[in-house]
Amino acid sequence: MEQSRPLDALNKARNKRVIIELKNGKQLIGSLNAFDIHINVVLTDAEERQDGEVKRKLGVVFLRGDTIILISPSE
């Protein structure tokens, strides 16, 4: 049985809603449109949230990988 690699988890999350936490403490939620080996990410229908509330709508957003702490499929 082949062992899974971290990017496999991102592949499974393609076109699904994900939560992304950034090193500056911000939290973005959006549809995972694209990513690469640097973990540069593009979200669509993205919004920034704070304490569960939408702070602003961003639409399409490109995130530079080195600003990302974690990516998690949202419930």
State how far the Cα of 30 lies from the Cα of 47, in Å rounded to an integer.
6
Minimum separation from the CB atom of position 33 to a copy of itself (A): 6
Window 6-45: residues binding a copy of itself (CB under 8 A): 6-10, 13-14, 22-25, 33-36, 39-42
Nearest to 44 by CA among 71, 11, 70, 14: 14
Residue 3's identity, in one-letter code, is Q
Contact (Cβ atoms closer than 8 angstroms) between residue 14 and residue 44: no
Q: Which is nearer to a copy of itself, 54 or 69 (CB)?
A: 69
1 lines the binding site for a copy of itself (CB under 8 A): no
Residues near a copy of itself, by CB under 8 A: 3-10, 13-14, 22-25, 33-36, 39-42, 46, 58-73, 75
